[in-house]
Amino acid sequence: MRMAIGQLADYGRFLPDATRAILLPSEPRQDLIELAHRQDIVVLWPAKQGYGASRPGFKL
């Protein structure tokens, strides 16, 4: 998770207005979701019907 946040920070230099998101294999702990949100990053994971998202109403 921390490496992904670092990569997104680096890539953000080139696309500053892009939505940043991390796709994980399962729902992460709440503290890691909060860490991502502090960096304005959405977290996604597979769910029963599509994907779960750390921000309600987030659409792919």
pLDDT attached to residue 60: 74
- In Å, what is the CA distance from 11 to each residue of 8, 21, 51? 5, 12, 24
Whether residue 24 has pLDDT greater than 80: yes
CA 13 – CA 28 distance, rounded (Å): 26
pLDDT attached to residue 12: 92
- Across residues 25-50, what is the average pLDDT? 96
Burial class (CB in 10 A: 0-12, 13-18, 19+), 21: middle
If you count them, how many residues does the chain have? 60
Please give the model's pTM, rounded to 2 decimal places. 0.88
Single-letter amino acid code for the residue at 50: G
